[in-house]
Copies of this chain bind each other. A is one copy, B any other.
Amino acid sequence: MGVTMRDVASLAGVSSKTVSNVVNNHPHVHPETRARVQRAIGELGYRPNFSARGLRSGRTGVIGLAVPELRQNYFAELADDVIAAAENHGLGVIVDQLGGTRQHEVDVLTNGLRQTDGLLFSPERLGTEDLQLLDYVGFPLVLLGERIFGGPTDHVTMHNVSAARAATEHLVDRGRDRIAVVGAHPDGRENQIRPADLRIRGYRQALFEAGIEHEPQLERRVAPWHPQNGAEATRELLASGLQFDALFALNDTLAVGALRALGEAGVRVPEDVAVIGFDNIDTGRFTLPSLSSVDPGRGEIARTAVEMLIERIEGGQGVRRPARLYKADFHIVTRESTGDLSSELDT
């Protein structure tokens, strides 16, 4: 490196401010001047120094994305979408993994990520009981996920309750009335605001509306939502002797484990037990059978979150627009695990 705006300016015979105007696509530059500057830039191989720009302008052009961990398919796909959306706005993305510790989540919320203008934050440990932490956040923040509601920041999430209700209805519509669910929160408190609780609420609503008696034994508690735990819970369900003709896994990761356990036990899916998941991760298209799921509108979530964050960044601290809550549209994706008996590959 080493080529600065001054070098470009002197070669082009202009001031460095004019070079700056050209580099930043300012409108009022004479076309001829612009061309001359651009020629000089090309000749010298000039690259702007983003640290200097960041220091002077107070903007880095980079946003942070903090998620639990990328090896969870859902977050990898979310990161994919966020990075793509940010790039469309000319922004880079620093990805941080919260790694399942509360302390790390508090740190990130307190300090932000270095060199970023704002943060997309999808916590795994913090909950609504930590709401006060959000009041002291000193940078633009958009919250993702279903763990904290009612805070002072913008929030992008999904229709958990109604999507879970729709998933359950999807099973009811296929004539199932002994519908097990895997993934309830272990502490079993109702009316909490966590993905597990919201989705359980939707499940119960659907049963109630269909006139199906709610059987508490069919609600299996699982945490964390890993495939092995989904498999485990499903094995216990099978061993319990409880009858069930459908299974709603509260996310696809659990569902993958459930399909394993059902397959091991020789239970046919969907003939004996229909299975639906939640998240619509890519892998669900290639399980055997392929997995029906709730598509939570992840791409829309990513795009909206990035746009909201940009508005907050550009609005600056001055614009005290009230916090917005955005819920993406969802839809049910029907595949083999709740479908008819053909075995077409959904691609």
Contacts and interface: CB of A to CB of B under 8 A. Distances in A.
Contacts of A54: 50-51, 54-55, 115
B95 A62 contact: no
A49 interface: yes
Nearest to A289: B263
A52 B50 contact: no
A61 B263 contact: no
A7 interface: no
A257 B288 CA distance: 10
Copies of this chain assembled into the complex: 2
Interface string A276-308: 000000110111101000000000000000000
Nearest to A290: B260
Given A47-B111, A61-B115, A93-B94, 15 more contacts: A49-B55, A51-B54, A62-B115, A71-B76, A71-B77, A76-B76, A76-B79, A80-B97, A94-B95, A227-B285, A228-B286, A231-B286, A260-B290, A261-B345, A264-B343
Q: Lowest 7 A-B CB distances belong to which pairs?
A: A51-B54, A76-B76, A51-B55, A70-B80, A263-B288, A227-B286, A50-B114
29 contacts: A1-B138, A47-B111, A49-B55, A51-B52, A51-B54, A51-B60, A51-B115, A54-B55, A55-B55, A60-B115, A70-B70, A70-B80, A70-B83, A71-B76, A71-B77, A71-B282, A83-B95, A87-B96, A92-B94, A92-B113, A93-B95, A227-B285, A231-B286, A256-B283, A256-B286, A260-B290, A263-B288, A264-B345, A287-B287
